Structure 1
């Protein structure tokens, strides 16, 4: 199976954000005095999944990140990540054209 470039060489900003999230999750785990094995058992995953998340590995499932946030009592922060009312660029664009969903444009036909 061929790996996606997003998993092997993500954009710098994505890689940095995942590493920061992983480090923050590690800090949260240590502050709660929870071992990787205990965290893994709570979530029903292997210890390696916890280690990968804490390293910010791009191929780690978003479900692992979300479950770790949940287990540390931080899940409400995930729900607000893409909050539509906090999306300044999206709000600006929406004020120009009030679309309800994106659509593929139709090609013009010059056959009369």
Structure 2
């Protein structure tokens, strides 16, 4: 049965290009480390096909495979900065725009206990 998820069949062009770049980078990292596809697959606990598909940048490959390969090649450090709320300029600007512009005095505590 074919997957009918449009994201997996035809991802937006920037997504497709980012995945292809990531896959190519993972392949180069594996080759530079002289690790075979089988060794990489064994290290992350998957089959060789998953590694091959990740290296092709397939959108249908589970994100866990991509992250596990980054870990296997000791490249996981920069991953923790992805989507960091502290560096999300657009998100910070939107949050700032929603902040209250005035502060009201509280009515205080009533003496009624």
Interval of TM-score (by shorter of Structure 1 and Structure 2): 0.7 to 0.9
Determine the structure 2 residue equivalent to 1:7: 8
Note the 1:27-46 alignment, pairs <5 A: 27-46=28-47
Using structure 1 for the length normalisation, give the TM-score: 0.84
Question: Where does the alignment leave 5 or more consecutive residues of structure 1 unmatched?
Answer: 99-112
Determine the structure 2 residue equivalent to 1:70: 71
Cα distance in 2, alignment partners of residues 3 and 71 from structure 1: 31
Cα root mean square deviation, aligned:
1.0
Cα distance in 1, alignment partners of residues 64 and 78 from structure 2: 14
Note the 1:13-32 alignment, pairs <5 A: 13-32=14-33
Question: Where does the alignment leave 5 or more consecutive residues of structure 2 unmatched?
Answer: 100-113
Q: Tell me the CA shift for residue 86 of structure 1.
A: 1.3
Cα distance in 2, alignment partners of residues 82 and 3 from structure 1: 28
Structure with max Cα Rg: 2
Using structure 2 for the length normalisation, give the TM-score: 0.83
- 1:32-75 CA distances to partner (integer Å, 9 max, x unpaired)? 00010110111111110000000000010000000000011111
Poorly superposed stretches of 4+, deviation over 6 Å: none
